[in-house]
Structure 1
Amino acid sequence: MTSATPAGPPPDLDLAFSLQSLADTGPSSGSGLVDPLRGADLWSAHLAAWLQQLQEELPAPLQAPAYSLGLELCDDPAIAELNRSWRHIEGPTDVLAFAAQEEAPPLPIGELAGAGETGLELGDIVISLDTARRQAISAGHGLEAELLFLASHGLLHLLGWDHPDDASLAAMLERQSELLEATPP
């Protein structure tokens, strides 16, 4: 079902990138993905490449030449508040995804108001840098690898993937691995 070389050009991506004001960000954090100046461009490249890879397997209403989504990197207290408010779970988590297409059936891009300017709205991904750092250390890899893993997980959730059981989780993790293997440098 997946393809190593996706057909067609990558979709346009309107990314709203937000980096919460944190003490340990920028070039000294070890990853351009958390650089307030370069981060948006790097994230846009990764997310557009993933959307291009996923294009042929998406349901027709989610196949679009352009997308819009938000990505916020925050700290544990901020994500803990979102986790409590939206999931009724206390404490921080690593990533949250707020899908825009959950409530109603998605509309083809041409039927969306202003679609020519912003693309199909997918929703928002929120990642805790604090939790990502701890998980990266625990897994024995760098912060950038952990952030890409969490963002790919969040993107799949925005596109309708879920993991209510072990088999669904295994399938989702496998698809994430495929996305990450083809991630541009």
Structure 2
Amino acid sequence: MQVELYVEDCFHFAPPAKAVNLGEAEIPISAETWSSWFRRWLEILQPDISPKSISEIGLRLTDDAEIQALNAQYRQQNKPTDVLSFATLEVFPQSQEISGAMPLYLGDIVISVDTAKRQAQQQGHSLATELAWLAAHGLLHLLGWDHPDEETETRMLKQQAILLKAIGIAIDIE
């Protein structure tokens, strides 16, 4: 399975295979690593998809100000949040015939690095771990997962932990 990932920060497009620079915050994850992680996660979450399939995902690393504006515009919540997902499959369902012939654009994930840094510090782990956690959460939303109640939230958190373990990051969700 191939994943075409578009990683950008709120100031400029990130060059591939280099760490993304978000102002003062150096993001310790290269675009190549992000692509590898998403590819592995999609293999786990969608094992029946052909290895020749191509999925596209947009990943935007931004700050609290921009994510607050997006949160207000799309969710009517005028406050920063850690991650937002904009799934295209909810809007543009694609048939198997179409998705087999061309890349399947899953949607966009937007992560606030400001919030991720605070949460990483609160959780006692690295910024890279928190960003991976949030990206996995965003991907699950792109694929239709949701957490409207405690039971589905627990299931989603467990799935995120499985995804992180698959890329060598251990998270305790207790």
Q: TM-score, normalised by structure 2?
A: 0.84
Listed as ranges, the gaps of 5+ residues in structure 2 are 12-21, 170-174
TM-fit CA distance, 1:105: 3.2
Q: Tell me which stretches of 4 or more aligned residues in structure 1 moved more than 6 Å.
A: none
Q: Which position in structure 2 is the counterpart of 1:155?
A: 139
Instruction: Look up the match of 2:10.
Output: 20
- Aligned partner of 1:107 in structure 2 is 95
Alpha-carbon deviation of 1:149? 0.2
What value does the CA root-mean-square deviation take over the aligned residues?
1.8
State the distance in 2 between where 1:69 and 1:169 align: 23
2:119 alignment partner, one of 129, 135, 158 = 135
Number of equivalenced pairs: 157
> Which of 84, 87, 112 is the aligned partner of 1:96?
84
- Larger proportion of strand: 2
What is the distance in 2 between the residues matched to 1:113 and 1:177? 30
Tell me the CA shift for residue 106 of structure 1.
3.1
CA distance in 1, matches of 2:145, 2:124: 27
What one-letter code is carried by the residue in structure 1 that aligns with 2:5? L
Within 5 Å, give how 1:163-174 maps onto structure 2: 163-174=147-158
The one-letter code matched in structure 2 to 1:68 is E
**Does structure 2 retain, via aligned residues, the 8 Å contact 1:32–1:42?**
no
The unaligned stretches of length 5 or more in structure 1 are: 1-10, 34-38
What is residue 33 of structure 2 aligned with on the other side?
42
What one-letter code is carried by the residue in structure 1 that aligns with 2:10?
Q
CA distance in 1, matches of 2:68, 2:138: 16
* 1:46–1:184 Cα contact (<8 Å) kept: no
Distance 2:58 2:161 in 1: 22
Residue 108 of structure 2 is aligned with which of 124, 128, 131? 124
Partner of 1:146: 130
In 2, Cα distance between the equivalents of 1:176 and 1:107? 27
1:170 corresponds to which letter in structure 2? T
Q: Relative contact order (C-alpha < 8 Å, sep 6+): which is higher? A: 1
Residue 35 (structure 2) pairs with residue 51 (structure 1): no
Equivalent-residue separation in structure 1 for 2:124 and 2:100 (angstroms): 45
By how many angstroms is 1:163 displaced?
0.5
Q: Report percent identity of matched pairs.
A: 43
- Aligned-partner residue type, residue 98 of structure 2: E
Deviation at residue 42 of structure 1 after TM alignment: 1.2
Q: CA deviation at 1:114?
A: 6.6
Partners of 2:100 and 2:88 in 1: how far apart?
Answer: 14
Query: Normalized against structure 1, the TM-score is what?
Result: 0.79
